[in-house]
Structure 1
Amino acid sequence: MASEELVEPLGIEWVPSAKRHGKPSQLFSLWFSANLGMPAWLVGVLGPVLGLDLGQTLFAIILGNIIASLLVGLTAKAGTGQGLAQLPLSRSIFGRRGNYLPSFLNTLSAIGWYTINTAVGGEAMAKLIHIPLALGLFFVAAGQIALGYLGYDIIHRFERVMVYVQGVLFILMSYEVVHHLPRLAHVHAGNYGDFLLELAAVVSYSFSWAPYASDYGRYLPESTAPQRVFWATFWGTFLGTVWVECIGAVVGALGWGNLSPIGMVQNLMGPLTGFALLAIIFGTMTADAINGYTATLSLLTLDIPIRRTQAAIFLGAVGWLVAWLANSHLLSDYENFLLLLSYWVAPWVGIVLVAAHQGLINKDRALLAKGVDAAAIGGFLVGIVAVIPFMSTILFEGPVAKMLDNGDTGYYAGMLVGALVYYLLLRLRKSAALSHSLS
């Protein structure tokens, strides 16, 4: 069994058998700790802000996370034992050049969320130790860049430690939440459109991890059981996210949804605010270790001639610089843009699941891939177009969403249409090939 390395020497190359190590259980700790942070908290806060009562919000949180965690788990399962990260492995479906589009979108998404998280974590750092915001951002970004530079093994070690550290800090938050429950006012139930919108927010948060899924199991031995990868990923994603989003739901139901993230924490925790600020800082780093590393791998999948370590420093520095230069209004607009951008994940996941069922995802196809796979790109583009009538965002609302009282069902439409179009195009290709061989 290969040993862990301080600085990961590989980029997006195939991981040879001699370097394989680890167990599927490490995926549980990684996904659990990565979701114990402010982004998931804010998804929970959103339900009451939209007008839902606490029961409706909790139901949306549980249902949405079942859907999303299943999809992230299935995506991770599809890459088990292949020795490639998720987007490089996606070349086996889209072709080498065809894969540039999802790789570019994933780079943009990952570094975007890295920037948003850094802004929140940097503010928490500045308030905790009473330093200028610019310095707080620098300290948080420096730690994240170091994790990205060191790579796979150090990220897994860091996430394993953070399971316990973050676990204690969020237990304290949960304790405070219980003490605030008697203060909840009676709220009338919201309409089904608001419920669909909250459900979409819950699904989109966890769902957006799917293009990352195989990045953190690519060193696992080739004999690793796919089912173990699936369940470790599922439960890590589901339990971590549900816990934090439920805390956020209570905070939102207390009427604090109009406050800044730090303001919510101060209202909830009172004299224990320092512990909560630590949780935000560590939550930023656990999430951004994942965002930064995946952004690096996705960037390399664009065939840009740069080393992994150089890409980690460059992208980390870009994220820090944007977080430093941006004001709160710009960050809010940027987050809305990222939420809109995340709709591309839906048709991509649908296509990946069809390809996995057809046995088309494997490292040999990925390593030999060239050009553009018309069936995959066709399904992907049609799936993205299919999202538009169903989406409900601040930036755009489709006609079907308006009919559903502003309810958002774009993710489901995009995934189903993308998968269906890809499947039909594969069938047509096979029929044409069979006809050609018989003629």
Structure 2
Amino acid sequence: MEKVYEEKVLEVEPFGIEPIPKQERHGRARQLFTLWFASNLNVVTWFTGFLGIEFGLSLKYAVLAIIIGNLLGGVLLALASAVGPQLGRPLIPGSRRAFGKVGVVGLSFLNLVNNIGWLAVNLVLAVMAFRKIVPSLGYHPALLILTVATMLIAVYGYNFIHTFAHWMSIVIGALFLAMTVISVSNLPHLLSGAESAAGGVDWGMFILAVAVAFSYQISYCPIGSDYSRYLPESTPRVKAWLATYLGCVTVCIWLEILGALTATLGMHAGPMDFFARLMGVFTVPALIAVILSIMPINAMAVYSGGLAALAMGIPMKRWVAALVTAGIGALLISFGGGHLAETYKNFLLLLSYWIAPWLGVVLCDIFFNRQPEAERNGSGWPGIVSFICGVVISIPFMSSVLYTGPIARNYLGGADISYFLSMTVTALLYLIIIKAKNAVKKETLTARAPVGAAGME
């Protein structure tokens, strides 16, 4: 078969959610480092670091929560990315054996909502930064300009996104490094303030801070293989895992700790007003860095949202699906507003309520279900039942603005451990069902075997 895409950057990607042909496979595992480094090298990651301080934690415990949450969550994101070369397609459509056709459609819808939500959160911050630079620019013109720029990157697709992320990891990395130096130099009282903080720690809020950092990482898991599916099938999983893990964890820990440091100043204004006050005479270059840094993750949200729409069975071209995703995201925030910190915290936690149990099933199916079961066969009831049970069991442990379970409220001090519970329960239940199903299948085949054949065995 003739090669039509290969490593061409300025050509619209012709493939969607179908398995990538072997002759089109290209790239190396190391490019996953720059992709995930650049995608998290933005003000959204920095802002995530604020939340531990917002919860009332001291700087020491806020930093500890950031480190723990990212180290744990990064393991799962790296696993979702590492299976891409062998799978050759997006992870949710590739989990059809576990969830069946109906299950994939439902999960793809949730993934579409996930990506539109990320796009909306990112666009809000980018628009704020843009209008800080150009105060005369209206909200909607700024939103339109940034949305169109995001669309152009996503329309070209996989190769363009990887190339763009590579260069942004260098440019934005240098800018954020300068911002780190400037920020720390503007916080001379930090160490003395941290040392003078007395008393214990609210473990409920500490666990909640870990939950936020963990949720930030696993929220990318449904799109993990979107950006590794073109790699050659022979790519070692260990190399893909390590490149992804180092890329996402190092930058998140760095910027979130920086966010926690700067949050100790207090934030009585909007995030961009606070940012401008912090950066002083370097405000304009820093705001430009903010806008540029948000472009890679916005492009990924639009691109993966388009793939999710295709996985739902919506008949359209990949690039058209990307445009529709960007349009919906921009429309949702066209009226702006909201309490950003609280909304963002609950958005991250709500994402984990379906992603965690889904991960429990899909990773167990990939790594532990060795049966040569055809992908298109079966209704996917083991995965669906396990998923639903995991979510239901975790409900009493949930803690969000929409609902707080009795166990989280009365015994955990507001901490949210539902994602850990749902993932564990779902994985164990799925493995039990699959083991029982395979045992029944084996007994049935043995019973149907001819007597002579059974005797020969």
- TM-score band by shorter chain is over 0.9
- Structure 2 CA distance, aligned partners of 1:331 and 1:196? 18
Normalising by structure 2, we get a TM-score of: 0.90
| Corresponding residue to 1:144 among 144, 147, 150 | 150
1:132-174 Cα shifts (integer Å, max 9, x gaps) = 2211111111111111111100000110010011111111221
| 8 A Cα contact 1:113 1:338, kept in partner | no
- Which deviates more, 25-34 or 378-387? 378-387
User: What is the deviation of 1:208?
Assistant: 0.7
1:291 corresponds to 2:297: no
1:352 counterpart letter in structure 2: V
1:376 corresponds to 2:376: no
- Structure 2 CA distance, aligned partners of 1:360 and 1:105? 28
1:115 corresponds to 2:123: no
- Higher Cα Rg: structure 1 or 2? 2
Equivalent position of 1:4 in the other structure: 8
- DSSP-derived class of the 1:181 partner: coil
User: What is the deviation of 1:229?
Assistant: 0.4
1:417 counterpart letter in structure 2: V
| Corresponding residue to 2:25 among 10, 16, 20 | 20
Identify if the C-alpha distance between structure 1 residues 335 and 65 changes in structure 2 by more than 3 Å, giving closer, same or farther.
Answer: closer
- Structure 1 CA distance, aligned partners of 2:131 and 2:216? 26
Equivalent position of 2:204 in the other structure: 193
1:211-254 Cα shifts (integer Å, max 9, x gaps) = 11100011111111111100011000101111110111012122
1:410 corresponds to 2:414: no
Equivalent position of 1:169 in the other structure: 175
User: What is the deviation of 1:361?
Assistant: 10
| 8 A Cα contact 1:392 1:406, kept in partner | yes
Identify if the C-alpha distance between structure 1 residues 370 and 285 changes in structure 2 by more than 3 Å, giving closer, same or farther.
Answer: farther
Normalising by structure 1, we get a TM-score of: 0.94
- Structure 2 CA distance, aligned partners of 1:322 and 1:240? 29
2:385 counterpart letter in structure 1: G
Equivalent position of 1:125 in the other structure: 130
Specify every segment of 5 or more residues in structure 1 that has no aligned partner in the other structure, as ranges.
none
| 8 A Cα contact 2:187 2:262, kept in partner | no
- Structure 2 CA distance, aligned partners of 1:331 and 1:293? 26
Equivalent position of 1:205 in the other structure: 216
1:222 corresponds to 2:233: yes
1:428 corresponds to 2:439: no
Equivalent position of 2:74 in the other structure: 69
User: What is the deviation of 1:43?
Assistant: 1.6
- Structure 2 CA distance, aligned partners of 1:343 and 1:279? 32
Equivalent position of 1:253 in the other structure: 264
| Corresponding residue to 1:153 among 152, 159, 167 | 159
1:288 counterpart letter in structure 2: N
1:69 counterpart letter in structure 2: G
Equivalent position of 1:278 in the other structure: 288
User: What is the deviation of 1:105?
Assistant: 0.6
- DSSP-derived class of the 1:408 partner: coil
| 8 A Cα contact 2:219 2:348, kept in partner | no
- Structure 1 CA distance, aligned partners of 2:328 and 2:231? 31
- DSSP-derived class of the 1:372 partner: coil
User: What is the deviation of 1:4?
Assistant: 2.2
- Structure 2 CA distance, aligned partners of 1:210 and 1:337? 16
Identify if the C-alpha distance between structure 1 residues 144 and 322 changes in structure 2 by more than 3 Å, giving closer, same or farther.
Answer: same
Equivalent position of 2:445 in the other structure: 437
Q: Calculate the aligned-residue CA RMSD, in Å.
A: 2.0
| 8 A Cα contact 1:37 1:284, kept in partner | yes
- DSSP-derived class of the 1:99 partner: helix
1:357-389 Cα shifts (integer Å, max 9, x gaps) = 224599x94xx4256211011111111112211
- Which deviates more, 184-193 or 244-253? 184-193
- Structure 2 CA distance, aligned partners of 1:428 and 1:282? 52
- Structure 2 CA distance, aligned partners of 1:103 and 1:428? 28
- Structure 1 CA distance, aligned partners of 2:132 and 2:402? 32
- Structure 2 CA distance, aligned partners of 1:285 and 1:335? 21
1:84 corresponds to 2:89: yes
| 8 A Cα contact 2:395 2:418, kept in partner | yes
- Structure 1 CA distance, aligned partners of 2:292 and 2:342? 22
Aligned residues: 435
- Structure 1 CA distance, aligned partners of 2:71 and 2:342? 28
| Corresponding residue to 2:47 among 28, 32, 42 | 42
1:369 counterpart letter in structure 2: R
| 8 A Cα contact 1:94 1:376, kept in partner | yes
- Structure 2 CA distance, aligned partners of 1:150 and 1:236? 23
1:391 counterpart letter in structure 2: M
- Structure 2 CA distance, aligned partners of 1:406 and 1:437? 51
Alignment of 1:349-360 (within 5 A): 349-359=359-369
Identify if the C-alpha distance between structure 1 residues 294 and 193 changes in structure 2 by more than 3 Å, giving closer, same or farther.
Answer: same
- Structure 2 CA distance, aligned partners of 1:371 and 1:326? 45
1:391 corresponds to 2:398: yes
User: What is the deviation of 1:335?
Assistant: 6.8
Specify every segment of 5 or more residues in structure 2 that has no aligned partner in the other structure, as ranges.
448-457
| 8 A Cα contact 2:215 2:348, kept in partner | no
